[in-house]
A and B are shown apart, each in its own frame.
Chain A
Amino acid sequence: DGGITQSPKYLFRKEGQNVTLSCEQNLNHDAMYWYRQDPGQGLRLIYYSQIVNDFQKGDIAEGYSVSREKKESFPLTVTSAQKNPTAFYLCASSIALARDTQYFGPGTRLTVL
Chain B
Amino acid sequence: AQKITQTQPGMFVQEKEAVTLDCTYDTSDQSYGLFWYKQPSSGEMIFLIYQGSYDEQNATEGRYSLNFQKARKSANLVISASQLGDSAMYFCAMRGADGTSYGKLTFGQGTILTVHP
Picked from A58, A90, A106, the residue with its CB within 8 Å of the CB of B104 is A58
CB-CB nearest in chain B for A108: B43
Chain A residues closer than 8 Å to B97, beta-carbon distance: 98
Number of residues from A at the complex interface, CB < 8 A? 25
How many A-B pairs with Cβ below 8 Å? Answer: 55
Residues of A16-58 at the interface with B, using a CB-CB cut-off of 8 Å, are 31, 33, 40-45, 48, 50, 58
Against A, the Cβ 8 Å flags (1 = close, 0 = not) of B1-44 are 00010000000000000000000000000000001010000111
Q: Tell me whether A45 and B104 are in contact (CB under 8 A).
A: yes
Residues of B69-116 at the interface with A, using a CB-CB cut-off of 8 Å, are 91, 93, 95, 97, 102-105, 107-110
Residues of A within 8 A of B (CB): 31, 33, 40-45, 48, 50, 58, 88, 90, 92, 96-98, 101-107, 109
